[in-house]
Amino acid sequence: MRQPVSAPNAAKPIGPYSPGIRAGNLLFLSGQVGFDPSTGVLVDGDISAQTDQVMRNIGALLKAAGADFRHVVRTTVFLADMNEFAAMNAVYGRYVVDPPPARSTVQVAALPRNARVEIDVIAMIE
């Protein structure tokens, strides 16, 4: 059975998709960009500010599903510019726990609303 997951303190979807779907003990979070949940607008600032908001949005969705960053097993990071990898990685590293989840990071041509970073998540929930 699939159950939708959303959180009032996470960014709202900008299209026909769920912020998260729980299927059994797996949680799939849609790609999050640095939208401020209170305004729906991309946060001001550089890649670090956007990554911080992305991770806060992810944390809110994890919490809504009864999980946290300890449950994350896989992430995919999409960057508008691979030259911003180190700055993104520094912020990302403040949120993930040991052992860190498996991850892929790729540069893409563009992200929604000209975001600098988007991250999706797969987590296991007990």
Residue ranges per structural domain of the chain? 2-124
Which structure tokens are listed for 76?
């995919």
pLDDT of residue 66: 96
pLDDT of residue 1: 85
> Please, what are the averages of pLDDT over each run of 10 residues along the chain (126 residues)?
93 93 97 96 97 98 97 98 98 98 98 97 94
Residue bearing tokens 């990898």: 85
Q: Which residues contact 45 (CB under 8 A, 6 or more apart)?
A: none
Q: How far apart are the first and last CA of the chain?
A: 16
Cβ(40)–Cβ(53) under 8 Å?
A: no
pLDDT of residue 97: 96
**What distances in angstroms separate CA 87 from CA 10, 30, 38, 71, 78, one per listed residue?**
22, 22, 25, 24, 14
Cβ(33)–Cβ(84) under 8 Å?
A: no
Model pTM score: 0.96
What kind of fold does domain 2-124 have according to CATH? 60s Ribosomal Protein L30; Chain: A; (3.30.1330)
Question: For residue 2, which amino acid is it?
Answer: R
